[in-house]
Amino acid sequence: MKPPKNVATSGVQYREVDATHAGQRLDNFLISSLKGVPKSHIYRILRTGEVRINRGRRAADYRLRAGDLIRIPPLRLPVNAIARDRTVPGAGSLEAHILYEDDDFVVVDKPSGLAVHGGTGVRGGVIEALRALRPQARYLELVHRLDRDTSGCLLIAKRRPVLLALHAQLREGRIDKRYLALVLGPWREKARRVEVPLEKYRLRSGERMVEVSPAGKEAATRFSPRQRFAGSTLVEIKLLTGRTHQARVHAAHIGRPIAGDKKYGDRDFDREMRRLGLRRLFLHASSLGFRHPGTGDKIVLKAPLPIELSSFLERLQDESPL
């Protein structure tokens, strides 16, 4: 029997639990993830065992663990619920931002201001929008993350074995992640390696922060100047490890905070950059290099600077004395 005209049927979905959802109850995870699906229906598919975790049945109060693979059966979703998912701010033109796609993964040039996934206070992000745009996709999971205000290359796996293979490359330091950033001050030296440990903590408000700390995890970053201006420098940043906020905190640690960084930046520098027209964090994931999990071929994908950043550099060039 066909579903009513105002209802769309999704296919089987697979969701891998990441660290941000570890410890959450299964029912709460499903309620927050499956927008538009009635709670009564969610509890029914839990009772009947249609939801599986690592191929086994689990109760509604099961506490999720990082790495758990959740199988969600085909669901009937109200069409207006899908439409709401498509209106995630900045997600309307997501298809136009795809840099590369095959049967194993997709690379998106993520716009600044769009989160990679939904969460506390965030309606939704790239992964939710992509799932809504492609309800037939059986599996879509983030391989890594970018800060909400950072633009550029974002890698998403389309099969679980691909996700595991790419995660292995990440752990072994075989994924080459490079960024472009505008930092404070004239850069007199050549390339510089920064190697100081980083530790995460939360403010009373719940906001996540990172600081340099001997108790933190090892982190290494290489900074290389690319273009010099009167009071700032465009640098390429190569992440040699993958810690939260690593580029931003390491840049601030060496006295070169990134322009527009509201958490770790320099207020006077940011004020001057705003005066000249900068309206966002000047941090862009410009390239991503890795081995194709299926063929072993070297893949290098590049995302050009967004127009608002390239235009701002032209303005800085005009402001800088000859």
The H or E element that residue 76 is part of is strand 76-78
Determine the residue type at 186. P
Residues 6+ apart with CB under 8 A from 102: none
Q: Given the residues 68, 147, 261, 266, select the one marked as catalytic.
A: 147
Report the 10 Å Cβ neighbour count for 133.
Answer: 16
- Helix 26-33 vs helix 39-47: crossing angle, to nearest 10: 140
Q: Return the structure tokens found at 27.
A: 């029912």
Nearest to 223 by CA among 290, 178, 285, 281: 178
Q: Return the structure tokens found at 30.
A: 């499903």
Report the 10 Å Cβ neighbour count for 192.
Answer: 15
**8 Å CB contact between 311 and 180:** no
Residues 6+ apart with CB under 8 A from 187: 225, 228, 233, 235, 256
- Residue that has been written with the tokens 């790419």 in this structure: 166
Q: How far apart are the first and last CA of the chain?
A: 73
Classify strands 151-157 and 176-184 as parallel, antiparallel or unpaired. unpaired
Q: Is 147 a catalytic residue?
A: yes
Three-state DSSP at 159 gives coil
Estimate the share of the chain in helix, then strand, then coil, as percent rounded to the nearest 5: 25, 30, 45
- Residue that has been written with the tokens 């689990």 in this structure: 58
For residue 18, which phi and psi values (nearest 5 degrees)? -100, 180
Which residues are known catalytic residues? Answer: 147
